[in-house]
Amino acid sequence: MDTRTLSTLLENYCHITNIHYYDETDSTNLRAKQYVQENDGTSACSPCLFVSEVQTAGRGRLGRSWESPPNEGIWMSFLCKPNLPPNQISGVTILAGLAVAKTINSFALKQSIHNLYAEIKWPNDIVINKKKVCGILTELIGNTSYVVCGIGVNVNSLSFPENLFQKATSLLKESGVVWNREKLIAVIIKNLSDYINSYEKSGDLDFILYDYNKLLVSMDKEVVLIGGTNINEKNSDENIYISKGIDKTGALIIEDSKGNRQTVSTGEVSVRGINGYV
Ligand code: ADP
């Protein structure tokens, strides 16, 4: 990673000058949390960005691990202090997903890559051709109002461990070309911080609904919900719904076979396609 170029881009695109680079760290979300503990109350804290060439203990939701091999991905955490109540923080994941998917698609268009289209797998993954290219983990830090949004993107990876081979992909694998990680980071963070500003002003996600639902991989398709108190674990008929997109709180609207609608919140359940991950 060319850290000087990235610093210049971040300053020019989003006026962020507080950037922490690591050749290796356990998890950039953990670095952001530690930074808040050490600097809370000072103006130094946000917004800032933590970027590592490799993570030795990258995490997904529910303590799952996130593979972050050296020099071929974007492993970063954006730290901010949005003026939002705690129950609206999950909206940051929604915004980060849209920021990543839109950035990838705009870069593909600029590079005349026509066979690549990133879609959102609600709530926190980005997929290309049904395989995961990005994962997002947003966390509220302790008793503070700081939020850390961890974003992992498989950029120039050519291979994956056996357990991820069927499920994961990278921008290089899908396009056949090497992608510029510095520019991708700068545009993702610019889009995300613009979205967060708008979210703070509007208090809901109405302003991105159309764009988001257009990129939602499950839109108007059958989905199965896994987990959640009222959800059947079996892939039975009662457990199959049609996804109707998100509402302005970021919850997913699902419709059962009788046409009854309900919403499910991020964190409550996992969504799968009827034949697998998407
Ligand atoms: P999900 O959204 O699929 O329920 P998480 O968001 O918690 O899961 O992400 C963690 C999961 O993602 C891991 O259990 C693993 O299956 C998968 N995974 C881990 N590292 C990567 C990676 N670099 N690329 C794609 N998928 C990954």
Confidence band for 63, pLDDT divided at 50, 70 and 90? confident
How far is the C-alpha of 37 from the C-alpha of 41, rounded, in Å? 9
pLDDT in tens, 106-162: 999 999 998 899 999 999 999 999 999 999 999 999 888 899 999 999 999 999 999
Residue 125 Cβ contacting ligand 1 at under 6 Å:
yes
Residue 72 Cβ contacting ligand 1 at under 6 Å:
no
> Could you write out the DSSP letters of every residue in 130-179?
TEEEEEEEEEE-TTSS-EEEEEEEE-S-----GGGTTTB--HHHHHSS--
Q: What is the mean pLDDT of the chain?
A: 92
Residue 114 token pair: 């026509």
Ligand 1: which residue has its CA nearest to atom 17? Answer: 66
pLDDT in tens, 219-255: 999 999 887 655 545 555 568 999 999 999 999 999 9
The rounded Å distance from CA 143 to ligand 1 centre is 27
Angle at 172 between CA 110 and CA 277, to 5 degrees: 105
Residue 124 Cβ contacting ligand 1 at under 6 Å:
yes
pLDDT in tens, 182-204: 999 999 999 999 999 999 999 99
- pLDDT of the residue at 40: 72
Mean pLDDT of all residues in 204-219: 98
HSE at residue 147, side-chain half, CA atoms within 13 A, is 23
The rounded Å distance from CA 135 to ligand 1 centre is 7
The rounded Å distance from CA 39 to ligand 1 centre is 31
pLDDT in tens, 43-55: 667 799 999 999 9
